[in-house]
Chains A and B, each alone.
Chain A
Amino acid sequence: MKSPGKVAAFAVAALAGVGLLTGCSSGSSDANGKVAITVASLIPGSSPDAFKAFNQHIKDFEKANPDILVKPVEYQWTGPTFSAQLAAGTLPDVFNVPFTDSKSLANAGQLADITSNVKQLSYYDKFNKSLLQVAENDKGDIFGIPYGPYAYGLSYNRALFTKAGLDPNKPPTTWDEVRADAKTISDKLGIAGFMEFTSGNTGGWGLTEMTYARGGRMETTSGSKTTVTADNPQTVDALKFLQQMRWTDNSLGSNFLLDWSGMNQYFGSGQTAMFPSGSDVLTSLVQQDGVKASDYGLALIPTSGANSGVLSGGNVAVVSVGASAAEKAASVKWIDSYYMQKLLDKSAAVTDAKSLVANKQPVGVPQLPIFDKAQLDTSLGWIDSYINVPKSNVAPFQDGIFTQTIIPEPAKHTQELYGALDTVVQAVLTDKNADIPTLLKGVDTQIQALIDADAAKK
């Protein structure tokens, strides 16, 4: 069998085989006339009970929308993994991004324009317009639906407070009290009394919150000019506070490389008694780190001084840029069903809460309103009998948060700014003689260069 003809036939057969395989591997969004979409489900590593609750929601959704097939995909937004997925085109059709990123992604054409789909929603006019703006591009087109807004709070372990002889119903309300309680816990229990994020861009996120709480800002905008102001008295004060806790009190433990997941594990395993984080963190702490809601407490971040406030953020449910018109419509239906209806419709709220309770998930995790406070209160009233997060445990936060000034995250090059500030926080915690003003000046120079480069291109 050496004739060129046979060889050619063999080659054609082989190529046809490759073609068949290729045909097998390319997915089709339509199966039996149905629209198939992939949606972000839960963070990898979440408990089987949490997945059970999520899958139940899919079943209910598919029953109500027989022309749509939903495939869940585990998903967690982190800066580095998200950009890799974005570059590789492996994101699901529906996923979420933080408030800090949605506008930039929309302007860069990396998200699907869902303006017409969102405007068809019956409650479109009810949206808090300033909140909806985070999901719009500069032209005002809509690229997502905001959900789950949070404010920073002080998470604390009530059981460890009790063990250290502190009253868990009286969490610290000033930074001095935070320091004193942290030292007591550290001295008595040999663990970190308090800890701050330090890596994966979260060190900068946490330091920004500590700056806001003292009245400072990381960026200021005047007209079209944005100036990076990391080297401000309040940030210096916040870092000196950490420096004293680390090197004078020795109350910050011994791990200074903690990102968001690492910190949650640290807290979940009882290695730190307090840490500042988003007010919605309890859901992850329960789903991933085995934290009992009864042991969890949430207090307000202490604020002081003029212009002080609490950092807030949230997520935007968005649709993949490659989605077809039918997939976009199906995706917005899913976002409406999964993220919105429990806030707007009593039966949806009750069904969701029932499912969460049945699957041992927390109900009643503190959140900020997407529409207005009255709407949030109404939706919480519907599920009052299902709330399993002890209200008294989160009362110190819940009772005071609506009187606080809510401040959004820095707008320009946020993630790079946070990354640069990570290094500063690490330096303060690992080098006794860290030169704080010089480190912060370095951040100003580094991030200002990026902002100026953007301005020069316009």
Chain B
Amino acid sequence: MTATTAIPAHRRRKRTPMTWLRGGGLWNLLFLLPMLIVFGVFSWGPIVESVVMSVQKTNFVTTSFVGIDNFVAVFNDPQLATAVTNTAWFALLALIFGYPLPLIVAVLMSEVRRRRGLFSALAYLPVVVPPVVAALLWKRFFDASPHGVFNTIIGWVGIPPQPWIQSASSAMPSIVLEATWAAAGGTIIIYLAALTSVAPELYDAAEVDGAGIWQKIWHVTLPQLRGVLLVTFILQIIGTAQVFLEPFLITGGGPVNSTLTILQLIYRYAFTNSIGGDYGKATALSIMLALVLAAFSFVYFRVTRAWSEN
């Protein structure tokens, strides 16, 4: 801990509402007000409303208090286990393929001397494509007939047509493929930016010590990037736990609920029944997911704090 210069008690100005006012406090508040209003109305308002709705049964015309019934109903729903398992499966696959890939690409790109801008643009291009358009395009690519785009491509090397999203076993890996393609560009740019902050002297020193490329990556690059890696890891976990768009647009949760994720289950609770969804159950599951993610984030940062600081 660094030493601080304490101000003697008798020299401290006493803060009163008047001094706050004269010091421009009202102006500060005024300029802060739009953001507070927007944040309150659009962020905290819905959060508080969700908490209230999770203990209610409502169709927005009649509302009644039901206590923890919604939470109990969610726990007893056999689809919850399916959704949790599928989401974990998606997260695991995304972690295995989606997490290291951008890092590898970024490190390789940082080694490129010429046309780095072109490679950066190519890597980032999928992020520029609107997610809905990308998902619907990939849905076409996944056409399971022998004339489908991917089946034609793999046919060139003698691989028979694959069912892609039309089979319960291959649907989720197919979605991970699309999600990785769509998201990698953003992470690559973050890693590229972080790599520029690694002091070149460290690589020079490593080279003098006889380190090869892999040793330089392992002993210099990765330790220097650990702060960014920690953040992208937690963002990836939170992002994959909340995956919705891809399974919703590409498979609708099918076949046979094999791509039903937690967020999609929330959506089903709220909107599948056209004569008034179960908004109570939907918000109950949303809150349960938020609590689990908050707890995970807390534990994660506690556990990794030492590594981050050292």
Q: Interface residues, chain A, CB within 8 Å of chain B?
A: 2, 4, 7, 10-11, 77-84, 86-87, 89, 97, 101, 104-105, 108-110, 198-201, 253-257, 259, 321, 413, 415-416, 419, 422-423, 426-427, 429-431
Contact = CB atoms under 8 A, between A and B. Distances in A.
Contacts of B168: 430-431
Contacts of B276: 83, 86, 104-105, 108, 110
Contacts of A201: 272
Interface string B128-144: 00000000000000011
B254 interface: yes
Contacts of B161: 254
B256 A11 contact: no
B38 to A, nearest CB: 12
Nearest to B250: A257
A10 B26 CA distance: 12
B101 to A, nearest CB: 27
B270 interface: yes
3 closest A-B pairs by CB:
A254-B144, A79-B274, A430-B255
Nearest to A10: B30
A83 B277 contact: yes
B273 A4 contact: no
26 contacts: A2-B24, A77-B274, A79-B273, A80-B272, A80-B274, A82-B274, A83-B276, A86-B60, A87-B279, A89-B60, A104-B276, A108-B275, A199-B252, A254-B143, A255-B145, A257-B166, A257-B251, A257-B252, A321-B61, A422-B254, A423-B254, A426-B255, A427-B255, A427-B256, A430-B166, A431-B256
Given A86-B276, A255-B143, A257-B166, A198 B254 contact: yes
Contacts of A419: 268, 272
B165 interface: yes
Interface in B244-259: 251-252, 254-257
Interface size for chain B: under 10, 10 to 19, 20 to 34, or 35 or more residues?
A: 35 or more
Contacts of B272: 79-80, 83, 201, 415-416, 419
A430 B274 contact: no
A97 to B, nearest CB: 8
A78 B252 CA distance: 14
Nearest to A103: B275
Interface of B: 21, 24, 26-27, 30, 59-62, 143-145, 148, 161, 163, 165-168, 251-252, 254-257, 267-268, 270-277, 279
A83 B26 contact: no
Contact of B273 (A81, A415, A426, A430): A415
A4 B22 CA distance: 8
A201 B257 CA distance: 13
Contact of A423 (B62, B256, B267): B256
B27 A87 contact: no
A415 B272 CA distance: 8
Q: Which of B163, B268, B274 has the most CB of A within 10 A?
A: B274
Contacts of A101: 274-275
A419 B269 CA distance: 12
Nearest to B260: A423
Nearest to B167: A430
Contact of A80 (B26, B165, B167, B267): B267
Nearest to A450: B273
Contacts of B26: 4, 7
A236 B61 CA distance: 40
Given A4-B26, A101-B275, A199-B254, 9 more contacts: A4-B21, A79-B271, A79-B274, A80-B272, A83-B274, A86-B276, A254-B163, A259-B252, A431-B168
A349 to B, nearest CB: 32
Nearest to A98: B274
B144 A255 contact: yes
B256 A253 contact: no
A81 B267 CA distance: 11
Q: Which of A78, A80, A415 has the most CB of B within 10 A?
A: A80
Nearest to B252: A199
A7 B30 contact: yes
A429 to B, nearest CB: 8
Contacts of B252: 199-200, 257, 259
